[in-house]
Amino acid sequence: MTSQQTEKNQISEQTKGLVLKAVNEASSKWKAAFNSGDYAGCAAQYETDAVMNAMPFGQFKGREAIQIFWQQLVADGFSDVDYVEPTIEVISATSAVLRSGWKMNKAAGVITNELWVIQSDGSAKLREDDFEAQ
């Protein structure tokens, strides 16, 4: 058994619940920001040094580069994002991975890895965001 598996088995249900609540709230904030055209609000849900792999568009490092990506998408008329059958797996006492299909008005695809990490204030921010437009 790996140390990550051991840690996952030792997380209390209360801690899992807190992580899930923080991730659900942060993910909802991200979707609401995107759907209202608030690209800065989208970027605010990422850690300062986050990495986003958006296939086929490329890799974006840091909140500023990520914000520019979302700003362009909003400017190009993309909106109405919805997650399709999302799952959230708590992987430690301070992090969880969200995976989901997604669709919006002009595109669809899959999220293979949204790594959400609990911050010092108890909120969750994205550290890694890997998704694909199909």
Helix (H) or strand (E) run with residue 23 in it: helix 13-35
Q: pTM for this structure?
A: 0.91
3-state secondary structure of 62: coil
Residue range of the domain that includes 115: 3-133
Name the average pLDDT for the chain: 94
pLDDT at 9 over 80: no
How far is Cα 103 from Cα 42, in angstroms, rounded to an integer? 17
pLDDT at 5 over 70: no
CATH number at residue 84: 3.10.450.50
How many domains is the chain partitioned into structurally? 1
